[in-house]
Amino acid sequence: MTPKTLRLGTRRSLLAMTQSRIVAAELGRSRPDVSIEIIGIETKGDKLLDVPLHEIEGKEFFTAELDEALLEGRVDFTVNSLKDMSIERHPELHTAAIPARAEPHDVIVFGPSGTRKLLHGGTITIGSSSLRRLENIPPFLAQALPHGAGASFADIRGNVNTRLSRLHDPEGGSRHFDAVVLAFAGIERLLGDQFARDEVKGLLSGTKLMLLPLSLCPTAPGQGALSIECRRADRLTTSVLQKLHDPAAHEAVSMERALLIKHGGGCHQKFGATASNHKLLGLILHTRGPTESGMRIDGMHWSIPEPRKCPALDRIAAWDGSAWRNTLTSHRIATGLPENMRGKPVFVSHSRAVDDSMLPSLRSARVWTSGVQSWFRLARLGVFVEGCAEGLGFDHLSPVFSSGLAGLGDMSDWTVLTHKHAENDWLARGCSVLPSYRLERTGGGATDKMRGAIKQATHVFWSSGSQFDELKDLVSHDAVHACGPGKTAVRIRNKGIKPFVFPSKEEWKKWIDTH
């Protein structure tokens, strides 16, 4: 027997109603024989908008009233943002499904006044009440903002559209902010909802976005994921809801929330924890910030491959290609950019691809880069960077690039600044490429000493595809190849070799040490 109508309980905020409509639509596709009635319920967190959540006593600020309606049978299931859910739930309730997760990043939305201050190095007032965000974002912005711009933070509460509206309030007034910090997923969902889209598009007019890197600014555990709950004894409703369950999302948020179980959860925590899935590396968990005891849990955690020795040798001789790359010098082969770059997406593969002649064009373009260190160097040159790939490869950002919020179009819209040896790889993607420099060793190619070291190596870490092309024939056929997760891995695989892929050379070195 299947229920014909299920009552969905949700908060009444614009985002909560949008998320509930998304779930209702998904259920309609998976179970067209079941209709969904959405019932809005006001919660304590919706009423107390003038006090930061960490100053309010108790917990379940956004879920207590929904739980009550569910337990009393006034609704059949509820939809909540998972980050708002406490670890300890009522024993008569259970999570029937965690749907596919949206992008978990935080994003800073700079309003018109904030955008002007970015150009002149002023101090930008940013709205956020999250202790976690206040812990991790300020030190990041100290290096990430261009022109030496500063940042100060002030408390802000309210729904997404309410917070965005304060970017457009009169400057100098008590309600005005230059920027606000929000969850990327929330804005993206609102832009996809027919009832919210026009309002949110209007509020985003004249703004700039900055996607915060998970390595330095991990988010609240569970951010970007939804929790669909029902009564544990209601097997019929559970069976309907389970159609939406996504095992990958469940695995990621379980990894994050395990830290809340270990260290305590809620709005009082200052640490962030975000697990993201990489197609070559699997789940990567970024954590940063102090626990309530004051212990910092900064780091990256992932499933390290099983150590493997070179089959023909009973020893380890590791060769680190990144050390070889440090002996290279760059030679400029192109300068300048087209003048009409305003609003066009540009990917800077390394900050050394940029020279002073390019800065006027880059300052009007939408700039993304490969990692946080290149980001910081570009910021010192006065370039506003929207986000970076965190050393995990351009493709890792594909879901962000294709989103309605980022609005970056397809590859044909991009210009990539890179070195000469990488030109063909990028051209194959269909984008415009400016190879602005080439890398050369002083005195020519590999030295005899270097060749000898490579020939004796049992484990090799390739730092670039061009390095692999130049030196691969020197490596023993039994050697264990490794590299980072970007284009180098693709290049090596195309040659019929399956390398071990690591997030960084440091992680490779740790792996070598476990042998």
Q: 159-177 pLDDT, tens per residue?
A: 999 999 999 999 989 899 9
Please report the pLDDT score of residue 312 as a whole number: 45
pLDDT > 70? residue 443: no
Using the CB atoms, write b or e for 293-322: b if 16+ within 10 Å: eeeebeebebeeeeeeebeeeeeebbbbbb
Q: What are phi and psi of 67, to 5 degrees?
A: -60, -40
* Listed ranges 52-66, 257-271, 470-484; the one with the highest mean pLDDT: 470-484
Q: What is the mean pLDDT of residues 34-52?
A: 77
For the segment 490-512, what is each residue's pLDDT rounded down to a tens digit? 899 999 999 999 999 999 998 88
Alpha carbon distance 253, 259 (integer Å): 10
pLDDT > 90? residue 207: yes
Share of the chain above pLDDT 70, in %: 92
Q: What is the mean pLDDT of residues 233-240?
A: 97
In terms of Cα–Cα distance, which of 337, 92, 58 is closest to 229? 92
Sorting pLDDT into bands at 50, 70 and 90, what band is 513? confident
**CB 503, CB 392: distance < 8 Å:** yes
Residues 6+ apart with CB under 8 A from 93: 67, 70, 71, 229, 230, 231, 232
pLDDT > 90? residue 441: no
461: left (phi over 0), alpha (psi -120 to 50) or beta: beta
Q: What is the mean pLDDT of residues 379-383?
A: 96
For the segment 185-200, what is each residue's pLDDT rounded down to a tens digit? 999 999 999 999 999 9
pLDDT > 70? residue 307: no
Q: Which amino acid is at 192?
A: G
In terms of Cα–Cα distance, which of 374, 376, 380, 345 is closest to 362? 345
pLDDT > 60? residue 244: yes
Please report the pLDDT score of residue 394 as a whole number: 93
Tokens of 430: 């269909």
Q: What is the mean pLDDT of residues 151-160?
A: 93
Please report the pLDDT score of residue 50 as a whole number: 53
Of 55-64, 66-75, 206-215, 493-502, the least confident:
55-64
The residue ranking higher by pLDDT, 346 or 327, is: 346
Sorting pLDDT into bands at 50, 70 and 90, what band is 58? very low
3-state secondary structure of 34: coil
Share of the chain above pLDDT 90, in %: 74
CA angle centred on 279, ends 273 and 283, rounded to 5°: 25
Please report the pLDDT score of residue 10 as a whole number: 96
CA angle centred on 97, ends 94 and 102, rounded to 5°: 130
3-state secondary structure of 405: coil
pLDDT > 70? residue 1: no
Alpha carbon distance 458, 317 (integer Å): 5
Sorting pLDDT into bands at 50, 70 and 90, what band is 304? confident
In terms of Cα–Cα distance, which of 140, 131, 115, 162 is closest to 12? 162
Residues 6+ apart with CB under 8 A from 374: 348, 350, 351, 388
Average pLDDT, the chain: 91
User: What is the DSSP pairing of strand 432-441 with strand 5-11?
Assistant: unpaired
pLDDT > 80? residue 227: yes
> Looking at the DSSP assignment, which residues form a beta bridge with residue 329?
440
**CB 214, CB 298: distance < 8 Å:** no
Angle between the N-to-C axes of helices 184-191 and 14-30, in degrees from 0 to 180, rounded to the nearest 10:
70
**What domains sit in the chain, N to C, each tagged with a CATH number?**
5-98+224-266 (3.40.190.10), 106-211 (3.40.190), 304-326+443-513 (3.40.50), 328-441 (3.40.50)
Please report the pLDDT score of residue 47 as a whole number: 57
For the segment 110-139, what is each residue's pLDDT rounded down to a tens digit? 999 999 999 988 999 999 989 999 999 999
Of 7-16, 255-264, 317-326, the least confident:
317-326
Please report the pLDDT score of residue 60 as a whole number: 61
Q: pTM for the full model? A: 0.93
Alpha carbon distance 153, 138 (integer Å): 9
